[in-house]
Structure 1
Amino acid sequence: MQALLASLLVVVAGGGLLWQATDGGQALTAESARRLAVQRAPQPVSPFALETMSGASAAIPDARGKVALVEFIYTTCPTLCQSAGADMFRLGNRVREAGLADRVTLMSVSFDPEFDTVERMQSYGERHDADGALWTIARPRPDVLPQILSDFGVIAIPDRMGGYTHNVAVHVVTADGRLAAIHDTGDFEGIIAAARKALR
């Protein structure tokens, strides 16, 4: 009987700890915990300048007062970035259908800015039909990249084959520079809803 009570106490204590550690069972990974935290309390991101695939300047937060839908890529990625690029194209179509194209911008930001030249960004953009107006490919200066990745919670680990293992998401950034939501690249409804909320 004592063994049963001890076992029951361990299960209850363990369940309580698991409940607390997973934010009430809502966040089973660090990524989902970060998404919940951002959703509850939008977090400021450091402003940074970008060079786009056309060689023009851009910035996050967007200097034109638009909400930015931001993903992080590298142009030679053979897997995740290719499907994320296809998702960004479809997201652009959804943004237009929702009547938000004049208030939202889409950016695919390279976390390999030394390799991803303007020409390589242009090539990636052409492969995925990025129009350069609603959706552009861009890169930051290498010296500010660590701060950007930290602010956005992006993990990019060299994989010893010339590529990276990395997480993939669309980050919703308000015009005043707050990270307001993080969604899977194919969660178009969730992204559009978060963009609308960020525009309020």
Structure 2
Amino acid sequence: MFVQIQAEPRALFPALGAWLLRGLIGLTALILGHVHGARAHSLDDVDALLKSDEKYFQQIDKPMPDFTLRTADGRVVRPADLRGKVVVVHFVYTSCTDVCPLHAEKIAEIQKMVNGTPMKDQVTFVSITTDPARDTPEVLRKYGPTHGLNPVNWLFLTTSQDQPEDTTRKLAEAFGHKFTKTEDGIQAHGIVTHVIDKEGYWRANFHGLDFAPVNLVTFINALTNNVEHPHHEQDEGWLAKLKSFF
């Protein structure tokens, strides 16, 4: 069971300028490959493009929620361990028989597009189980290959034995959506793909399964190019403003 979150419908035909901009950035990512130091477009340009052309895109700008999880082989992974990479995060549980496999396969499609370019070494794909009790290390190891995910830059994370069973479900809530477990083990949930930049800032959500993969790859390409887009800093009050004059 799932609840698909959809944004407000936009015009059916995007402006010609936006279409040309997407084409240019998409060609950079998918045909010419990643060009180090490219600054042709700011992330604000890409955000504006996706807001007009991708109705399932949601701009975010906040630190990635903190966690301490483990891979199938017991390696500890924290957000700090992912710094320097663009990170694509999604939540699934392996006994899900409807949308979770479809979500994993959509991520695998995007991974294949990214890994066909020099962006491959700058992007990590992360799946997080919301059912650690049943998703044993053996189950985790089999899930990726079954759904086309390449372990070269993909991690499947779960809890350690000393963590509460609902740890990753609470983490999903920190990312803005819920996996609500029922008595029969089914989890009602939304479908969201989260994108984190190299500095550990959560930059975007792509909702549902109907977004265009090229749009997510375009956004990833902008982040791998370190395009200029300052984070929104908290107001430090009158003292910080006074210091700015000196």
| TM-score interval, smaller chain | 0.7 to 0.9
Q: In the aligned structure 2, how far is the partner of 1:153 from the partner of 1:138? A: 18
The C-alpha deviation readout for 1:55-80, integer Å capped at 9, x for no partner, is 33323354351011011000111011
- Residue aligned with 1:42, SS: strand
State whether residues 67 and 103 of structure 1, in contact with CA within 8 Å, keep that contact through their aligned partners in structure 2: yes
State whether residues 72 and 109 of structure 1, in contact with CA within 8 Å, keep that contact through their aligned partners in structure 2: yes
Q: Is 2:169 the partner of 1:150?
A: no
- Residue aligned with 2:152, SS: coil
Identity, % of aligned pairs?
A: 23
Partner of 1:188: 213
Partner of 2:197: 174
Structure 1 residue runs of 4+, over 4 Å off? Answer: 141-144
Name which of 77, 80, 87 aligns with 1:58. 77
Tell me which protein shows more helix as a share of its residues. 1
Q: In the aligned structure 1, how far is the partner of 2:109 from the partner of 2:81? A: 21
State whether residues 70 and 171 of structure 1, in contact with CA within 8 Å, keep that contact through their aligned partners in structure 2: yes
Q: TM-score, normalised by structure 2?
A: 0.60
State whether residues 65 and 175 of structure 2, in contact with CA within 8 Å, keep that contact through their aligned partners in structure 1: no
CA separation of 1:92 and 1:34: change in aligned 2, threshold 3 A: closer
Q: TM-score, normalised by structure 1?
A: 0.72
- Residue aligned with 2:151, SS: coil
Question: How far did residue 154 of structure 1 move?
Answer: 2.2
Name the count of aligned residue pairs: 169
Q: In the aligned structure 2, how far is the partner of 1:137 from the partner of 1:187? A: 24
Gapped regions of structure 1 (runs ≥ 5): 1-25
- Residue aligned with 2:73, SS: coil
Question: How far did residue 34 of structure 1 move?
Answer: 10
The C-alpha deviation readout for 1:157-185, integer Å capped at 9, x for no partner, is 12443211111121001122221011145
Question: How far did residue 145 of structure 1 move?
Answer: 3.0
- Residue aligned with 2:118, SS: coil
CA separation of 1:34 and 1:160: change in aligned 2, threshold 3 A: farther
The C-alpha deviation readout for 1:80-107, integer Å capped at 9, x for no partner, is 1111121122111111123211000001
CA separation of 1:157 and 1:90: change in aligned 2, threshold 3 A: same
- Residue aligned with 1:182, SS: strand
Question: How far did residue 54 of structure 1 move?
Answer: 3.4
The 5-angstrom pairing of residues 22-171 of structure 1 reads 27=8, 36=58, 39=59, 41-60=60-79, 62-141=81-160, 142-143=163-164, 144-145=167-168, 147-171=170-194
Q: In the aligned structure 1, how far is the partner of 2:158 from the partner of 2:212? A: 24
Gapped regions of structure 2 (runs ≥ 5): 1-6, 10-54, 227-246
